Amino acid sequence: MTEILLIRTGQTEQDSLNWLIYSPQEQEIIASGELLNASHLSELSEKTQSREVIVLLPCDQVQLKTVILPTKWNRKLEQALPYMLEEDIACDVDELFIAVGESTMVGEQHAVRIAMADREWFEQWLALFNEHHLAVYTIIPDALLLPFADNDIVTAIELNNQWLFKQGQWHISAVETSWLNGYLSAMGNPEIKHFSPANHFPESVNLQAQTSDYDLPLALFAKQLGQVKFNLRQGTYQLKKKSTLWWGYWQSAAIIAGVALASTIAIKALELHQLNTKVDIAKAQVVDRYQNAFPGTKVRPQLIKSQINGALKKVQGASDAGFLDLTAQLVDVFSQVSEFTPETLRYDKRRNELRIRARAKDFQTFGKVKSILEKQGLTVEQGSLNNDGDFVVGEIKLRGAV
């Protein structure tokens, strides 16, 4: 599973940024730190190698809202959504970027969850990521990654002197520490599960300290990524599919592998051509020797073995049958061993023995011929071998049944 580089921005480019590298597979923090401001984003460029970059925006800059619909969510309603919001917002709807979440039900009414952010502010951050060569595919409001709690319980964590809250699945907020009393009182002093030490909360609030889960805020958020499917990077702001990113990482290796494969195929094709050439030469030698043994006959190369067997049957029982039988055993030798050329043949009828004086390219060739003939059931004796310049000359005796 890919490691994650999590970056939490500030409200402005001058604010500090938090970052953390997390391994979902090992469930551990690899590294973490803080940047003075957005101009230092280039310091994270080398940390993005083979890691997925996820950006968290301050939730006080992103408003979540559940919009009641007249009917089930569809494409026409999506086109009409900005006009449905005009009466509920205090600014020009054209100045907002509206991201669509999941459709849901509120009682018996259809609804859709949306997120709204100032379009110019959102585009400025996208431009900064692009300027510093950070390929960001996922953008999420930070507090949305707080753990979900049932029964109207609120979850909370402290980050950069602010408390982030999450109530239900689609209600988040950020509150300065000095405003906690008024904010919690307005919420009706709900029960709170907190993932940071809560030293400034009023006594009227029922607190549930999650001390076993106390961690860096970004580490807690990283662990919740699998629970949140929402992504602000959508519509006209959606980046190309991640497969493009991985192709960039592996493109060089794929090209090298392709060249290697093409080279291997070319080499194998050349070897096959050379083998076919050797087979053709061996076939020609067999045909030539057959015509010398049976002059005046028509040779069909594809049927040469059958023709030899037929010729042997015709002379079966004749005085030369033993000679022909032994010479027939040589047919397979010529097709399997290159550069082995008989110079003289002498046949001893009484002993049914064929002496072959031959020339080969080396000593090993004679050994190979002897091995092939023995596998055919013949008694084979190899005489002395002599090195005659570029060739080896020697004698082989074949003996059949008397």
**What's the CATH number where 213 sits?**
3.30.420.380
In a domain, 309, yes or no: no
Residues 74 and 223 in one domain: yes
3-state SS, residue 51: coil
Cα–Cα distance for residue pair 231/54, rounded to 1 Å:
10
Give 199's contacts (C-beta < 8 A, 6+ positions apart).
Answer: none
Mean predicted confidence (pLDDT) in 284-304: 66
How do residues 373-399 score in pLDDT, each as one tens digit?
888 888 888 888 888 778 888 888 888
Mean predicted confidence (pLDDT) in 251-275: 74
pLDDT of 226 reads 94
308 vs 396, higher pLDDT: 396
Domain boundary among 202, 220, 239: 239
Instruction: Assess contact for 289 and 345: CB atoms under 8 A.
Output: no
How do residues 24-40 score in pLDDT, each as one tens digit?
999 999 999 999 999 99
Domain boundary among 239, 260, 275: 239
In whole numbers, what is the pLDDT of the chain averaged over residues? Answer: 86
Strands of 28-35's sheet in order across = 28-35, 17-23, 4-8, 52-57, 136-141
In 10 A of CB 19, how many CB atoms? Answer: 21
Phi, psi of 269, deg, nearest 5:
-65, -40
In a domain, 288, yes or no: no
Helix axis angle, 304-314 to 321-328, nearest 10°? 160
Cα–Cα distance for residue pair 299/287, rounded to 1 Å:
7
Number of domains in the chain: 2
Strands of 96-106's sheet in order across = 63-68, 109-118, 96-106
Task: Give the start-end residues of each E strand in 229-378.
Answer: 340-348, 353-360
Cα–Cα distance for residue pair 249/279, rounded to 1 Å:
47
- Report whether pLDDT(90) > 50: yes
Residues 197 and 344 in one domain: no
Choose from 141-155, 274-288, 361-375 the range with maximum mean pLDDT: 141-155
Cα–Cα distance for residue pair 334/182, rounded to 1 Å:
103
Q: Give the pTM.
A: 0.62
* CA distances to 67, 243, 359, 384 from 340, in Å: 91, 59, 6, 16
Confidence of residue 319 (pLDDT cuts 50, 70, 90): very low
pLDDT of 364 reads 87
What share of the chain has pLDDT > 90, as a percent?
52
Task: Give the start-end residues of each E strand in 297-370.
Answer: 340-348, 353-360
Instruction: Assess contact for 378 and 398: CB atoms under 8 A.
Output: yes
Residues 160 and 54 in one domain: yes
- Flag the least confident range among 46-55, 294-303, 371-380: 294-303
In a domain, 81, yes or no: yes
State the residue range of the domain holding 27. Answer: 4-239
383 vs 52, higher pLDDT: 52
- Cα dihedral 12, 18, 21, 24, rounded to 10, equals -90
Q: Which is it for strands 4-8 and 52-57: parallel, antiparallel or unpaired?
A: parallel
Residues 340 and 233 in one domain: no
In a domain, 305, yes or no: no
Instruction: Assess contact for 375 and 400: CB atoms under 8 A.
Output: no
Domain boundary among 191, 221, 239: 239
362 vs 400, higher pLDDT: 362
pLDDT of 107 reads 93
Confidence of residue 13 (pLDDT cuts 50, 70, 90): very high
Structure tokens at 116: 């709204």
In a domain, 246, yes or no: no
Structure tokens at 89: 């917002």
The CA-based angle 318-322-327, given to 5 degrees, is 125
Cα–Cα distance for residue pair 133/388, rounded to 1 Å:
74
Mean predicted confidence (pLDDT) in 29-55: 95
In a domain, 110, yes or no: yes
pLDDT of 335 reads 73
pLDDT of 98 reads 96
378: CATH: 3.30.1360.100
Tell me the CB-side half-sphere exposure of residue 14, using CA atoms within 13 A. 0
How do residues 141-182 score in pLDDT, each as one tens digit?
999 999 999 888 999 999 999 999 999 999 999 999 999 999
Give 293's contacts (C-beta < 8 A, 6+ positions apart).
Answer: 311, 324, 327
Confidence of residue 317 (pLDDT cuts 50, 70, 90): very low
Q: Which is it for strands 192-194 and 154-159: parallel, antiparallel or unpaired?
A: parallel
Instruction: Assess contact for 364 and 387: CB atoms under 8 A.
Output: no
